[in-house]
Amino acid sequence: MSWRKEQRRAERGYHHGNLKEALLQAALGLIAEKGAAGFTFADAARMAGVSAAAPYRHFRDRDELLSSIAQRGFEQFEQRLAAAWDDGRPDTVTAFERVGKAYLAFAREEPAFYNAMFESGVPVDANPALQAASERAFNIIRAAAERLAALTPPGTPRPPAMMMALHIWSMAHGVASLFSRGDAARRKLPMSPDELLEAEVLIYLRGLGFPTDRRPAGKGAEPPPVPPEAPSGSGVPPGGTPGGPWGKPK
Amino acid sequence: MSWRKEQRRAERGYHHGNLKEALLQAALGLIAEKGAAGFTFADAARMAGVSAAAPYRHFRDRDELLSSIAQRGFEQFEQRLAAAWDDGRPDTVTAFERVGKAYLAFAREEPAFYNAMFESGVPVDANPALQAASERAFNIIRAAAERLAALTPPGTPRPPAMMMALHIWSMAHGVASLFSRGDAARRKLPMSPDELLEAEVLIYLRGLGFPTDRRPAGKGAEPPPVPPEAPSGSGVPPGGTPGGPWGKPK
DNA sequence: GGCTCATGTAAAGATCGTTCACATGAGCTG
DNA sequence: CAGCTCATGTGAACGATCTTTACATGAGCC
């Protein structure tokens, strides 16, 4: 046995005290480094200063550890999305876009969680708690979509809110997993993932009849200003950044 | 040594004859079954009836096999996308949507390839040939986007074609990887992935000012042949079919 | 026929995931 | 405080995988 190990043991005694948490943290670090596939149960144990068999006292097997991380990830994800949504303040469209940004930010800033959640092959539906956490996170997007759906300008086709939510989710996930993470991020793009997603969502919202004219596209005339936030009237600020979400068209 | 093995050997002699190809096929089957993560080099060897060391005569290591499969996948992917695009016939928008469908169809029908290409953790940029194949596939989408960009009705914002291509790619990939494959597909949806993507793309195109009012929601009449390629038409048509691509709003 | 080299084999080392019998010690009970 | 118990950690061991190394085979070519 290594000197190091003995030393660790001396420091902390026979019992670790908080092994479960330590393992989760270790795994998180390892996944961030080498991906969920490269992460090793034995490595996590080593990193926690414990024998290879010890983790089995806290997790049925390697998959359960991964699953736990995914679940915790969904919980944090939900919190961040909820904070971004902020119940639709100051206006629905702005908040909606903030959710998109939060999605990408999470994928970028918490690669280990995102990996465990969406790219580790953990079957979400196998674990009820995990599935529930996943649904709670999605429900934020869904709630936002409901609000948005209620606001689609009259005379415009109005898809079910659920569908809009799924659309947004797929856009965000598509951008995140193709361009915003790991080696995929190395695909060189003419713009940042954030800009890409923002423009995508804006075009989509325009397709639903929402005024997205706060960013005049190019030199052209302002797109016809549909009454902001249709029925009630609290709404999208008319002003905007010049250049449009996609920059000046050449 | 097993009887089976001896028998196989007797059938084919000491040399396999076409081991490289056999390994690729075996791997493809295994990945389809158990995912790229669960796929094992030794298993592929076994399935080809050779010793565990034999594959190393044809692939530097397990990753190179995976990488080869990904590359082959991108090549087939390119072919299918190209066939779907069919150089924009009969009209750009129709062909464009066909590309979207082809994307999903590939993801669904060739799970092993799709898995190796996008979900196996193979670093695309590590292998120049692989990267080139990937780019050739993307170029189909890109070419389609160029054509579409050239047609955006005047008076409408016109994002760069490259951006449009990336948008479409991210939508397709998002839908495919969230809803169209593996356990993720088990997330129960109120509609098929194909419908979901089609609606998403249509709304997006509408956001770009394209007329997307053909296609009465259900089993209705034949899509009214909108004058194909309508650069002259003004943006979003006021009428549109009731319901649009997403069925009747409730 | 004989040489050569690509192709396959067997054996072995390193690492993992996992299990099992056993050790330790924290906390309760009396 | 003594003793018991049970959660928690240890070591050893099994089978599987990946990979390397030395050796075997035989197809093609002179």
Q: Per-residue confidence at B11, pLDDT binned at 50, 70, 90? A: low
Note the CA–C1' distance, A14 to D8, in angstroms. Answer: 9
CA atoms lying within 13 Å on the CB side of residue A219? 1
pLDDT value of position A183: 57
* pLDDT on residue A125: 87
pLDDT of residue B138 exceeding 70, the answer is yes
Contact residues for A28 (Cβ-Cβ < 8 A; gap 6+):
A69, A112, A113
The predicted model gives A157-163 an average pLDDT of 91
Measure A182 CA to nearest chain B CA, in Å.
9
Which one-letter amino acid corresponds to residue A25?
Q
Out of B155, B179, B186, name the one closest to residue A221 (CB). B155
Q: Does A202 touch chain B (CB under 8 A)?
A: yes
For B68, other C-beta atoms within 10 Å of its C-beta total: 21
Strand D positions within 7 A of protein Cβ atoms: 7-13, 16-22, 25-27
| Side chain identity at residue A201, one-letter code | V
Query: Is A46's CB less than 7 Å from nucleic acid strand D?
Result: no
Q: B123 touching A, CB under 8 A?
A: yes
- Buried/exposed B118-157: b ≥16 CB within 10 Å, e otherwise: bbbbbbbeebeebbebbebbbebbbbbbbbbbebbbeebb
Q: How far is B143 from chain A (nearest CA, A)?
A: 16
Please say whether the beta carbons of A12 and A47 come within 8 A. Answer: no
For residue A50, say whether its CB is under 7 Å from any atom of strand D. yes
The pLDDT of residue A149 is 92
Which residue type, as a one-letter code, is found at position B36?
A
* Sequence spans of domains, chain B: 1-59, 62-219
**Does residue B17 approach strand D to less than 7 Å at its CB?**
no
User: How buried is residue A6: exposed, middle or buried, by Cβ count under 10 Å (0-12/13-18/19+)?
Assistant: exposed
Closest-lying nucleotide for B51 based on CA to C1': C9
- Return the percent helix, strand and coil in chain A, to nearest 5: 65, 0, 35
Domain B1-59 CATH (choose: 1.20.1070, 1.10.10, 1.10.3470, 1.10.3720): 1.10.10
**Cis bond before residue B90 (omega within 30° of 0):** yes
Q: Backbone dihedral region of B151: left (phi > 0), alpha (psi from -120 to 50 degrees) or beta?
A: alpha
The torsion angles phi and psi of B209, rounded to 5 degrees, stand at 95, 5
A32: which chain B residues are within 8 Å (Cβ-Cβ)? none
Is any Cβ of chain B less than 8 angstroms from the Cβ of A47? no
- Secondary structure string (H, E, C) spanning A133-187: HHHHHHHHHHHHHHHHHHHCCCCCCCCCHHHHHHHHHHHHHHHHHHHCCHHHHHC
* Residue A136 contacts B where some CB pair is shorter than 8 Å: no
Q: List chain B residues with CB under 8 Å of A175.
A: 170, 174
From chain A, pick out residues whose CB is under 8 angstroms from the CB of B236.
207, 209
- Taking the CA of residue A183 and the nearest CA in chain B, the distance in Å comes to 6
Alpha-carbon distance A236 to A238, whole Å?
Answer: 6
Separation between Cα atoms, residue A114 and residue A124, nearest integer Å: 13
pLDDT of residue A182: 61
Both tokens of B60, joined, read: 């530097």
Residue B228's pLDDT band, with cuts at 50, 70 and 90, is very low
Residue B54 DSSP label? G
- Closest by Cβ to B196, choosing from A163, A197, A218: A163
Residue numbers of A between 205 and 244 with CB closer than 8 Å to B:
205-209, 212, 217-218, 220-221, 223, 244
pLDDT tens track for A61-95: 999 999 999 999 999 999 999 999 999 999 999 99
Say yes or no for a CB contact (<8 Å) between A249 and B160: yes
Q: How far is the CA of B10 from the C1' of D26 (A)?
A: 14
Options 3.40.50.740, 1.10.357.10, 1.10.287.1120, 1.10.3720.10; CATH for A68-250 is 1.10.357.10
Per residue in B193-226, pLDDT tens?
999 999 999 999 999 998 866 543 333 333 333 3
Which three-class secondary structure state does DSSP give residue A219?
coil
Kindly report which amino acid residue has its CA closest to the C1' atom of nucleotide D17: B42
DSSP, res A119: I
User: In the prediction, which pLDDT does A246 show?
Assistant: 53
- Tens-digit pLDDT profile for residues B19-64: 999 999 999 999 999 989 889 999 999 999 999 999 999 999 999 9
- Distance from C-alpha of A74 to C-alpha of A120, rounded to nearest angstrom: 14
Given this model, what pLDDT does residue A222 score?
35
Confidence of residue B236 (pLDDT cuts 50, 70, 90): very low
- pLDDT of A219 reads 37
Instruction: Report pLDDT for B238.
Output: 39
Task: Considering only the beta carbons, identify the residue of A155, A162, A250 that sits closest to B190.
Answer: A162
pLDDT, tens digit, 9 for 90 and up, residues B173-191: 999 999 887 655 566 788 9
Q: Is B162 on the interface with A (CB under 8 A)?
A: yes
What is the separation of C-alpha A43 from the centre of its chain, rounded to a whole number of angstroms? Answer: 27
- Cβ-based neighbours of A172, under 8 Å, separated by 6 or more: A100, A103, A104, A197, B174
- CB-neighbour burial class of residue B46 (10 A; exposed 0-12, middle 13-18, buried 19+): middle
Chain B residues with beta carbon closer than 8 angstroms to that of A128 = none
pLDDT in tens, A168-219: 999 999 999 998 876 555 667 889 999 999 999 999 999 999 886 554 333 3
Q: What is the CA angle A164-A121-A27, rounded to 5?
A: 110
Distance from CA of B242 to the nearest CA of A (A): 7
- The nucleotides of chain C lying under 7 Å from a protein CB are 6-12, 15-21, 24-26
In 3D, which of A184, A196, A164, A41 has the Cα closest to residue A115? A184
Convert the pLDDT of each residue in B84-133 to its tens digit. Answer: 999 999 999 999 999 999 999 999 999 999 999 998 988 888 899 999 99
CATH number of B62-219: 1.10.357.10
Cβ pair A24, A69 in contact under 8 A? yes
